Amino acid sequence: MEAGTGRLDVPAVVAASLAIADADGLENLSMRRLASRLSVTPMAIYHHVRDKGELLDLMADESLRALPPLVASAPWDSALEDLFLGFHRLYLAHPALAQIMTQRPLEGPHAIAVGEQVLTVLSAAGIDDDTAASAFISIVNYTIGASLYRTSRSSSRLPERRRFGRISAADAPRAHGLRQTMAALAVDEGQFLDGLRRLLASYRMDAAAAPARPTTARAPAG
Amino acid sequence: MEAGTGRLDVPAVVAASLAIADADGLENLSMRRLASRLSVTPMAIYHHVRDKGELLDLMADESLRALPPLVASAPWDSALEDLFLGFHRLYLAHPALAQIMTQRPLEGPHAIAVGEQVLTVLSAAGIDDDTAASAFISIVNYTIGASLYRTSRSSSRLPERRRFGRISAADAPRAHGLRQTMAALAVDEGQFLDGLRRLLASYRMDAAAAPARPTTARAPAG
DNA sequence: ACCTGAACACCGTTCAAGT
DNA sequence: ACCTGAACACCGTTCAAGT
């Protein structure tokens, strides 16, 4: 498959990797499967990528290109809400990316560019540097956790439960009664948004407490 | 190793699995490694556990035994803060557990018991059922995301970065200036607590808006 | 520079057999 | 019931060789 192009390059390798991970899950992405999809010998890939780990880094960073850019004209909190909703949607579309982020710190150029944008917006809102750094980390963590939660419960990837029976009304009446509510929330974008908004509202109070700053935004101050 | 006991059982298998995952990472936990640590043939394990997936489920649920129980006498928000701090510490001590939770929905008996406790506490605080379910999910998601963040950055498991250079002052002045701050926050329990408290504070407002309820809260008591 | 082929040290799991 | 042994269809990666 994918034949014809003749020559292999990094973008083609990354694209094929994402396609395999989307179709069959990250656990089924192997260098050998990838090679056969590219009609090439496994070792050919090693000429473009040092090892599988580097391939995963490239997948995670490269896919951030698809993120809708932050809208600078909007209020800072709704701009951030949109940005992280974009993250969440990206991770739902490509569950492998969220998984990769939990195993390898993402430090590629696109990831750093997004981080820079977020920190700039928080700073312009009047939030001090330390709080901004902390806010960035907490919001990213929440977003990744919520995305993993939804993808791990998406019908297509559920492992068949065997050992454990269903949740019983006798042992856990509340959890039992809320079973269907929780199942619905697990596939609901509104559930993600609710938590995100609660975090943003909390940082809004930090912003209000600080003196508003002009958005000139010159770097780490000289 | 681990010889002498003569007979294999599920607790021994689970304990050995955790020991391997703690020492060498979940990615190095294999049925064959596990078998050799138990001085047994790989196939012997399959007599106690259906497959590797079930083994992972058992590891994740069984380890929840170590969680400090929720202190019912404390105010609900500080009780929940303690409980989830306990989760966070458990995941830091055993990074494999947080990883497993992102791949397989945790529905074992201990997980359900913890969920029941949390829902009961939220309800007794005067939070309605739908909000309680949503709060539970968001707080768990945040906790898992934050735990994964810290473990993925723990010095012992960092993959050597190759493709991407260090973050440059020219391209990302803010991110560059905050590099050391962010690195410090990545290993700081206070960073986790800050985000957790912001979420709890938000739900405290829901509780205040609702009529307070007597803490009759039947169920797992008795 | 870019790719192939053979090989090494691993995987999870099935199936048949032993006690 | 509990365990072994051999086998199957896979892995990631090194090394030497081809063009």
pLDDT in tens, B170-188: 999 999 999 999 999 999 9
Give dist(CA A106, CA A109) in Å, integer. Answer: 9
User: Could you give the number of structural domains in chain B?
Assistant: 2
Q: How sure is the predictor about A156, in pLDDT bands with cuts at 50, 70 and 90?
A: confident
A182 touches chain B (CB under 8 A): yes
- Listed in sequence order, the residues at least 6 apart from A46 whose beta carbon sits closer than 8 Å to its beta carbon are A31
Mean pLDDT, residues B87-97? 97
Nearest CB to A57 within list B99, B145, B163: B163
Based on the fold, state whether residues B25 and B93 are members of the same structural domain. Answer: no
Based on the fold, state whether residues B27 and B106 are members of the same structural domain. Answer: no
Nearest to B135 by CA among A88, A128, A199, A220: A199
Based on the fold, state whether residues B44 and B77 are members of the same structural domain. Answer: no
- Per the domain annotation, does A185 fall within a domain? yes
Per-residue pLDDT at A52? 98
Residues of B in contact with A145 (CB under 8 A): 140-146, 148
Q: What is the CATH number of the domain that holds B171?
A: 1.10.357.10
B12 touches chain A (CB under 8 A): no
Per-residue pLDDT at A6? 66
Based on the fold, state whether residues A141 and A38 are members of the same structural domain. Answer: no
- Per the domain annotation, does A164 fall within a domain? yes
Based on the fold, state whether residues A134 and A204 are members of the same structural domain. Answer: yes
- What's chain B's average pLDDT? 91
Give pLDDT tens digits for A46-71: 999 999 999 999 999 999 999 999 99
Based on the fold, state whether residues A187 and A112 are members of the same structural domain. Answer: yes
Based on the fold, state whether residues B118 and B22 are members of the same structural domain. Answer: no
- Listed in sequence order, the residues at least 6 apart from B58 whose beta carbon sits closer than 8 Å to its beta carbon are A163, B10, B13, B14, B49, B108
- Per the domain annotation, does A64 fall within a domain? no
* Enclosing domain of residue A22: 10-48
Give dist(CA A174, CA B117) in Å, integer. Answer: 9
Give dist(CA A39, CA A68) in Å, integer. Answer: 33
Give dist(CA A146, CA A85) in Å, integer. Answer: 11
Pair B13, B48: CB distance under 8 Å? yes
Q: Which of A35-44, B122-131, B208-217 has the lowest mean pLDDT?
A: B208-217
What sign results for the dihedral spanned by CA atoms A39, A94, B101, B47?
A: negative
Give pLDDT tens digits for A124-150: 999 999 999 999 999 999 999 999 999
- What's chain A's average pLDDT? 91
Q: Rounded to two decimals, what is the model's pTM?
A: 0.93
* Interface contact flag, B178 A57, Cβ < 8 Å: no
* Interface contact flag, B185 A134, Cβ < 8 Å: yes
Q: How sure is the predictor about B162, in pLDDT bands with cuts at 50, 70 and 90?
A: confident
- Per the domain annotation, does A62 fall within a domain? no
Give pLDDT tens digits for B57-90: 999 999 999 999 999 899 999 999 999 999 999 9
What sign results for the dihedral spanned by CA atoms B149, B155, B159, B161?
A: positive
Based on the fold, state whether residues A140 and A82 are members of the same structural domain. Answer: yes
Q: What is the CATH number of the domain that holds B28?
A: 1.10.10.60
- Per the domain annotation, does A143 fall within a domain? yes
Based on the fold, state whether residues A33 and A75 are members of the same structural domain. Answer: no
Q: Where are the alpha helices (DSSP H) in chain B?
A: 10-24, 31-37, 42-45, 52-62, 76-93, 95-103, 109-124, 129-152, 173-177, 179-185, 189-209
Q: For residue A2, is pLDDT > 60?
A: no
- Per the domain annotation, does B55 fall within a domain? no
Mean pLDDT, residues A62-83? 96
Based on the fold, state whether residues A120 and A199 are members of the same structural domain. Answer: yes
Q: For residue B18, is pLDDT > 50?
A: yes
A156 touches chain B (CB under 8 A): no
Instruction: Report the Cα A92 to chain-centroid distance in Å.
Output: 8
- Per the domain annotation, does A56 fall within a domain? no
Based on the fold, state whether residues B174 and B73 are members of the same structural domain. Answer: yes
* Interface contact flag, A133 B202, Cβ < 8 Å: no
Based on the fold, state whether residues B99 and B154 are members of the same structural domain. Answer: yes
First to last CA, chain B: 44
- Per the domain annotation, does B146 fall within a domain? yes
